Amino acid sequence: MADNDFPGWHGTTIIGVRKGGKVVIAGDGQVSLGQTVIKGTARKVRRISPGGYDIVAGFAGSTADAFTLLERLETKLEATPGQLQRASVELAKDWRTDKYLQKLEAMLIVSDGKDLYVITGAGDVLEPEHDVTAIGSGGNYALAAGRALMDTDKDAEQIAREAMAIAADICVYTNGNLTVETISA
């Protein structure tokens, strides 16, 4: 089978919502290979505590690649405790320049409760303009729904859950089995 014939792994939607002094990162549990759901209960949102500071991270893309990036982020945070922005920028620099890391196919949403970033392999560390960001197969659906819900009375967790439900209704690579982590500044 040629590389371009391989159906590829799909099936992640991760959303990050910052509202009311809290950040919520939520992710679905679906992993698909082509048209087949391989697993419906994957946990793609994690809480880590490098250097004694809590960080919540959600990942989309290849699981092995994402865990490699999470480990690298944890190392950067241990070297710069409590400085998520600096650690994220350092990770993005390494990711862009290191030949091994350049091959990784994943993206991260990370937060320390105050800051919220998307880290990409293109060397980007992006802070969302409207306090909502999303990645993965259903990311655009979750992002649109989340932004539409931001002007309501709903809190960050309600917005994240409802946006993920909308994404799961639209995207065949997203399910409703959520992992939700909340972190405060």
- How many CB atoms sit inside 10 A of residue 100's CB? 9
Q: What's this model's pTM, rounded to 2 decimal places?
A: 0.91
Give the pLDDT confidence of 110-163 residue by residue, as tens digits. 999 999 999 987 788 999 999 999 999 999 999 999 999 999 999 999 999 999
Count CB atoms within 10 A of the CB of residue 14: 31
Residue 8, Cα to own-chain centre: how many angstroms? Answer: 19
The rounded distance, in Å, linking the Cα atoms of 159 and 143 is 10
Per annotation, catalytic residue among 12, 133, 174, 182: 12
> Is 12 an active-site residue?
yes
Taking a C-beta distance cutoff of 8 angstroms, is the pair 46, 57 a contact? yes
The DSSP symbol for 178 reads -
> What's the full length of the chain, in residues?
185
Contacts of 184 (CB under 8 A, 6+ apart): 21, 22, 23, 113
Between CA 69 and CA 75 the distance in angstroms is 10
**Residues 46-76 pLDDT 10s:** 999 998 899 999 998 877 788 888 898 999 9
Indicate the range of 9-18, 40-49, 156-165, 173-182 predicted with least confidence: 9-18
